[in-house]
Amino acid sequence: MRQAMAEAEVGDEQLRADPTVNRLCERVAEMLGTERAMFLPTGTMCNQIALRVHCEPGDEVILEESAHNRHYETGAPAALLGVSHLPVAGNAGVFDAAQLKSSIRPAGHHFPRSRVVLIEQTANLAGGTIWPIETLEDVCRTAAEHGLKRHLDGARLFNAVVAEGVPADRYCRAFDSVWIDFSKGLGAPVGAALAGSEEFVERAWRFKHQFGGAMRQAGIIAAGALYALEHNIERLREDHENAALLAGGLAQISGLEVDAPSTNMVFFRTTPGGLGASELAERLRRRGVAVSTMADGRLRAVTHLDIERADVLRAVETAQGCLE
């Protein structure tokens, strides 16, 4: 990947004249089955630009209560767009068409205008869980019937693709806007791509400039993303196998409760009365195992391309040692 980045042909991305970025965008549009795509520095920016295209101030975005856009993007839709969230309590990050329907505001000048349904595939804080294709299509169909735009936060879309055997373009077909992250499991250092119709992407270009996401010789980072699309998708399976191995190992340790993983994330907690979650995370960190502490007391371990089976076994052993 570093070699590909070093050798990348570049141009001025703001002028849409960087050949490597252009090649990346064509490749993304082809893989996701959209008319066009646009390269951006981060997934966070993809979410905000898409919502900016779809919404006016006072509009409301319907999303699952654990959604990243609600918790981990510093309130950006409110701060930057004048847009509010209507959270839906789903099951493992997934809600159904009936729940969507009952969340849509009636017409009338008192209410925010329901404008977008946002779906996160996979659902990060819900455990890296997968929206079943039927549910996703059903929710999007209902959204369209009520005049709502459909937006896919596909930070980890390819984890769902390899886990379910559902092609990326099938997932994306139901949406007006979709994006993927190159800097998560795909293992590139920087970048995300936002995709949709010709008209959507053309409108999004204005906000790419406005939000400071138009770049110059971005081909250097786009080359990393292209390399990732070519080499790092199929191998996401290994991350899922390693997550299952990790969860199985941690579940054997007394003092821990572990959620069964769906993809590459393992959420677990310490049992009440024992070691606290942040104390365990600190002990693990001192012994070379990095886990995140979540606001609700859970711990999160993520498997990725720098983690091998042997690392997982060592992590389990280390956790055992921390709790003895």
Which residues are at the interface with ligand PLP (CB under 6 A)?
Answer: 42-44, 68, 120, 124, 153, 155, 181, 183-184, 192
Could you tell me the smallest distance in angstroms from the CB atom of residue 38 to ligand PLP?
A: 14
Nearer to ligand PLP, 153 or 280 (CB): 153
Measured from the CB of residue 183, what is the shortest distance to ligand PLP in angstroms?
Answer: 6
Per the CB < 8 A criterion, the answer to whether 315 and 289 are in contact is yes
How are beta strands 59-64 and 256-258 bridged, if at all?
Answer: unpaired
Shortest approach of ligand PLP to residue 44 CB, angstroms? 3
In the complex, minimum distance from the CB of residue 302 to ligand PLP, in angstroms, rounded to a whole number: 10
Residue placing its CB nearer to ligand PLP in the complex, 130 or 155 = 155
Confirm if 126 and 89 have CB atoms less than 8 A apart. no
Measured from the CB atom, is 34 or 66 closer to ligand PLP?
Answer: 66
| Alpha carbon distance 32, 35 (integer Å) | 9
- Closest-CA residue to 45 (of 15, 74, 67, 16): 74
Could you write out the three-class secondary structure of 2-29? HHHHHCCCCCCHHHCCCHHHHHHHHHHH
Shortest distance in whole angstroms from residue 41 CB to ligand PLP: 8
Task: Answer for the pair 127, 262: CB distance below 8 angstroms, yes or no.
Answer: yes
194 or 284: CB nearest ligand PLP? 194
Q: Are 246 and 301 in contact (CB under 8 A)?
A: yes
Q: 179 vs 43, 211, 227, 238, CA distance in Å? A: 7, 17, 18, 23
Measured from the CB atom, is 43 or 187 closer to ligand PLP? Answer: 43
51 vs 319, beta carbon nearer ligand PLP: 51
Residue nearest to ligand PLP (CB): 43
CB 289 within 8 A of CB 318: yes
Q: CA 191, CA 28: separation in Å to the nearest integer?
A: 12
Instruction: Supply the minimum distance, in Å, between the C-beta of residue 152 and ligand PLP.
Output: 10
